[in-house]
Amino acid sequence: MTSNNDTIVQITTPAAPSAIGVVRVSGAGAVRVAQQMFKNRSLRERPESHRVYYGRIVDPSDGAELDEGLLILMLAPRSYTREDVAEIHAHGNVRLLRRILAAAAACGARPALAGEFTKRAFLNGRIDLSQAEAVAGLIYANSDMAARASLAQLSGRLREAVGRWREEILSLMARIELSVDYPEHDMEPLNLRRIEEGARALVAGIDEMLQNAGSGRILRDGVNTVIAGLPNSGKSSVLNALLREDRAIVTDAPGTTRDLLTEYAALGELTLRLTDTAGIRGGALDRAEEIGVARAREAFAGADLALYAVDGSRGLTEEDSALLSGAPSKCVVLINKADLRLCPALDGVSQVMGFPVLRVSAKDGSGFEALPPLVKSMFFDEGASDFFIYGERHIECAKAARAALLRAADGAGGGVFEDLLSLDLKEAYARLGEITGAEAGEDVIDRIFSEFCVGK
C-alpha cells in the first residue's frame, strides 16, 4: 500500500542510450531532493516555479559528481501531478540515469510505481479517469489518427459528454423527488412524459457515441487486414511491398505460404494488421496445405478488410469470382504485376463484383500510393471527428448506462410509479460515473494504472 504523500522518483525516458535522459521527482519533498542533488546557488537560496536551472548533479551520500545538466522546477499546483515536481535533465546514459535515480532515493524519494505520476494527477483532480487512460492511449498510439483520437479524449471530450449526460439524469431524478415530496400538485402524467423523453434523448446520445466504437477499435488495434488470393497471385509480394521489406518467402512454386503470417504496417494515417494467407485452391493438397487453406478461408471471411490479389498476367478466373463472393464487405481487388503486360480483359476494369480495383506492382511498388486514401474512406467519413470511444471499459459502462436509461424510458411510457424509475436512473448515473472515475472503485483504478509504463 503506497501513500499519496510520499515523494516519488522515476526515470521517465526510455531505457536506451539517448541525447537526453530525464529523472522526475514529485511530492512534498521534491524541492528538498533537488536542492541536495543539484549544485546551483539560486536553487538553494530561493527556488522558483517554472524556471530552468543549470548546474552539476551530485550524489549527496559521498559528494561524487554524476553529470552536468538542467533542472526544471514546477511547484504545486502548476505541475503534471499538482504536487511539487523537479525534473533532472541529464545525458541519456542508462547507467548514469540509474545512479541519479539511486541518489534521489537515498535523499528520501521512493521509486514510483507504474503509472503513479498520472495516478496522482487523477487523485489530485487535474484529470479524470478517461483522460488518464488517454495518456496511455497517446503513448501507445500506432497511427496518426489513433494519436489524434487519444489527444481528443485527453482534452476532455469524453469527460464533457459524460458530464452533460449525468447532469441531465440528475434533472430527471429531481423531477421525481419533487413529485414524491409534493404529490398534491398532481404532476405525475406530465413528469412521466418528460422523464420518458429525457431518457430516450440520452439513449440516442449514447447510441451516437457507441456507433463510433468500431472505428475506435480499429484505431486502437489497427485494421484487421487479410491478403488473400489464388496461389501465385503475388500475395506474399504484396505483403512485402506494404512492409517495405522481404518478410515473406516468395517463389514461383504454388503453395509456398502454408500458415498465417501476421505483421503490422503503416498505411497513411492508419495501421494495418496484415495477415498473409495460403493460396486458396481446390484439388489435391497435402495435409499442411489443406490446413493452411482452411485457415485462410476463415481469416478472409472474418477480416475488417480484404486485399484480394489477382495475377494481372492471367486475369480473373472463375475461382477468383467464387472466392470474392465470400469476401468481407470491405475489400480491395489488387491487380498485381502491373509492371508486366496485363491480360487484355482487365483493361478499363474499375470494379470487380462491386469491389474497387487498383493496379499495382509488388515488384516496383507502383500503384500502392492510391491505397491509403481508399482504405481510409472505407472506414471513416470525409471530415470525420477525431472523437472516438475505444476503451473496452468505456464501452461496457456506456452500454450498461444505456440499458438502464432504456428501462427508465419504457417504464415511464408504461406508467410505472416515478419512485421506481429512480432506481434505473441512479444506475445509469453511476455507470456513466465509472467512465470518468467519479464512481469507480479502488480496484478498477489500481488495475488501470498498473498497465501504464513505469515513469508515467
Percent of the chain whose pLDDT exceeds 90: 48
pLDDT tens-digit map of 301-310: 888 999 999 8
- d(Cα 307, Cα 327) in Å, to the nearest integer? 10
Taking CA atoms, 15 is separated from 8, 11, 59, 367, in Å, by 19, 8, 21, 40
pLDDT tens-digit map of 290-325: 666 777 778 888 889 999 998 888 878 888 888 888
The average confidence (pLDDT) of the chain is 86
Please tell me which residue, 158 or 245, carries the higher pLDDT value: 158
Using the Cα atoms of residue 379, residue 232, residue 301 and residue 352 in order, give the sign of their dihedral. Answer: positive
At residue 251, the pLDDT reads 41
Determine the CATH number of domain 8-112. Answer: 3.30.1360.120
DSSP 8-state code for residue 439: S
At residue 320, the pLDDT reads 86
At residue 160, the pLDDT reads 93
What architecture is domain 132-212+390-439? Answer: Up-down Bundle (1.20)
Whether residue 406 has pLDDT greater than 80:
yes
Whether residue 17 has pLDDT greater than 70:
yes
At residue 250, the pLDDT reads 42
- d(Cα 128, Cα 179) in Å, to the nearest integer? 34
Mean pLDDT across 327-336: 91
At residue 249, the pLDDT reads 39
- d(Cα 229, Cα 277) in Å, to the nearest integer? 8
Contact 148, 41 (CB under 8 A): no
At residue 332, the pLDDT reads 94
Q: Give the pLDDT band of residue 189 (cuts 50, 70, 90).
A: low
pTM for the full predicted model = 0.81
Mean pLDDT across 398-404: 97
Determine the CATH number of domain 222-379. Answer: 3.40.50.300
Q: What is the residue extent of each domain of the chain?
A: 8-112, 132-212+390-439, 222-379
pLDDT tens-digit map of 281-291: 554 455 655 66
